[in-house]
Structure 1
């Protein structure tokens, strides 16, 4: 007899199979028991009929507890009433392990309780769906960049300096010198782009930012492409093509998961390139007209400002050409202005905020050196980075996409803490 997983059931309609699973929930009605099973690949209902299986097996079905593990022998049948389209007609049950007093019951639980039991909360239907969508975004990311000639490169996690030039870094000792957990692999990816042309990285980043908003994590994952001989306008086109690709891939390959989360698919179906663009200058004027009287040119945008701008569009929107003073040292100046840089933030619809930050990078040696000095950075720590603009410098651009914010937007979940398996928050390092 073939042992299969739930997601393989459509290939075995009419066959008797064996499945290893956990009991997510159950109900019974007289001489019939309905077992809601999960095996990691999906969820399915198993029907246990007393007249078919006999007293002993039916008693097992009625007594088995939530999250107990078991083997089910059953016939795969078509069920048009199920969103999955199939169910199991049980013939035999073998209990592997009995779970006693499983803490997460079908009733409502508070967020802190669920976060304390994150290792178990991951088993729920909603969390399972979010993790599957996260996996699809990652798969689609590799697919997009490899199709477009990018090479995957892994920058270091331990670094001796900060690409953003901020103090929000986790400091550690590297033998007899100071080191930091990386907040971005960008500078190293620029070096890789000078060797390999078009590259991307995918890895964890760390921000010691004391923020408790629904958009922030202390540890999160970033996709960071860098592209030689690519200037600002072309970079924006690549960004919108990439985001459209992952959204459409999620729609195509995760329909059950999106339905389980109650996501409005019509809002995702329209996400196709090109995306609208608004300059920082025009965004300031727009916000003042909307009643944000306290904002002035030169201020950075907070969550309320980004949300107000995003609400005017039903697509992700680029905000371009921010002031020099609020952006990192490595961004290329506008060719016709010395007060703004060639950059853009991509703001997701529906209040999910910035999902991409990107820019054309400086490739002039003297200008790069000047900007490092203006930002008060230690030049010796950036000597290797300055070499990139000394030896064969070319125009180049790059960006970083925050995985968790993107997954939150596609999934429609409220908080990014649900989009990473084990979130690290300001008040949480457990489990």
Structure 2
């Protein structure tokens, strides 16, 4: 039976908080419909791409006994009689999968207890993390470029209607589907910022304004390669040509969107990795199983992670990642 109250969402301008409070109904509207259809297409394209490349879908646990990257930005839970944490990455477990099956990808929810209120942060978001045995960093970058250009191509091919609902300029997306992504060294990125008069020195990490500036200089995604060791996690392989840097790369999306993927070659040598864990001030006991991967038949391997909602936000040109997920979880929102 029909109820007397009017439908809460009308044709007038509603504030974002009102719409998020009524997200269970707002999802019926044209804009969220278009975004969720595009999200679904990116999901399908991702699974198809990695299946075609011979990858195995491999699932990492969401409950962790310790912090994988030694950060404090973890949600703590009481797990019966001891401490546990919600996973912030499936990567270390993905490395187990790569050494067992060759090429794998994990794809699922991850959690970060960062008190961030930026347009790029959710506390619960999806990560897609491939890990490849017998692969060095350069081949990993080739794979990342093929993957991202395939995904954008699939969205352009199948979601023209949805993109038109969002008013998205297709010409801004087409270069991304062509590949040919620049590989910009961290050193050169620093120079670009300094030449533009930004207060940035070698060894700093890029903030959102820095990434936004750099990403305005390119018409398609691009890599920033070989970051300083001090600003990246312990498990990466040092660059033999400059041991102050790692063999790593972030993918930056154009139009001011900044980082959407990040990866590295992993340190495959037992003694080196053990030393890097200790240098990072982490507890060796927490990583004994991870060190076992190097102790019992280690191979060179590389991997990367993609923030699913960040990719959706860039492709759809959203103001905030909260629209890229059906029910956003941000620092001040757990409802509905």
Structure 2 length as normaliser, TM-score?
Answer: 0.98
Match of 1:410 in 2: 315
Match of 1:310 in 2: 215
Looking at structure 1, the residues matched to 51 and 309 of structure 2 have their Cα atoms a distance apart, in angstroms, of: 21
Aligned match of 2:194 in 266, 288, 312? 288
User: Do residues 276 (structure 1) and 176 (structure 2) align?
Assistant: no
Contact 1:237 1:274 in 2 (8 A): no
Match of 2:44 in 1: 139
What secondary structure sits across from 1:400 in the alignment? strand
Give the CA deviation at 1:384: 0.3
What secondary structure sits across from 1:257 in the alignment? helix
User: Do residues 122 (structure 1) and 59 (structure 2) align?
Assistant: no
Deviation by residue 1:373-398 (Cα, 9 ceiling, x = unmatched): 01111100100000011111111000
Structure 1 length as normaliser, TM-score?
Answer: 0.77
**More contact order relative to length (CA 8 Å, sep ≥ 6):** 2
Please show how residues 20-419 of structure 1 align to structure 2 within 5 Å. Answer: 100-271=5-176, 272-292=178-198, 294-419=199-324
Unaligned regions of 5+ residues in structure 2, if any?
Answer: none
What secondary structure sits across from 2:256 in the alignment? coil
Contact 1:185 1:224 in 2 (8 A): yes
Unaligned regions of 5+ residues in structure 1, if any?
Answer: 1-95
Give the CA deviation at 1:337: 1.5
Give the CA deviation at 1:165: 1.4
Give the CA deviation at 1:143: 0.3
Give the CA deviation at 1:100: 3.9
Looking at structure 2, the residues matched to 142 and 305 of structure 1 have their Cα atoms a distance apart, in angstroms, of: 32
Contact 1:160 1:178 in 2 (8 A): yes
Deviation by residue 1:10-51 (Cα, 9 ceiling, x = unmatched): xxxxxxxxxxxxxxxxxxxxxxxxxxxxxxxxxxxxxxxxxx
Whose radius of gyration is greater, 1 or 2? 1
Give the CA deviation at 1:99: 7.3
Query: Which has a greater percent of helix?
Result: 2
Pairwise CA RMSD: 1.0
Looking at structure 2, the residues matched to 415 and 311 of structure 1 have their Cα atoms a distance apart, in angstroms, of: 18
Give the CA deviation at 1:352: 1.2
Give the CA deviation at 1:268: 1.1
Query: When the two structures are aligned, how many residues end up with a matched partner?
Result: 335
Looking at structure 1, the residues matched to 180 and 133 of structure 2 have their Cα atoms a distance apart, in angstroms, of: 22
Query: Which has a greater percent of strand?
Result: 1
Misfit runs of 4+, over 3 Å: 96-100
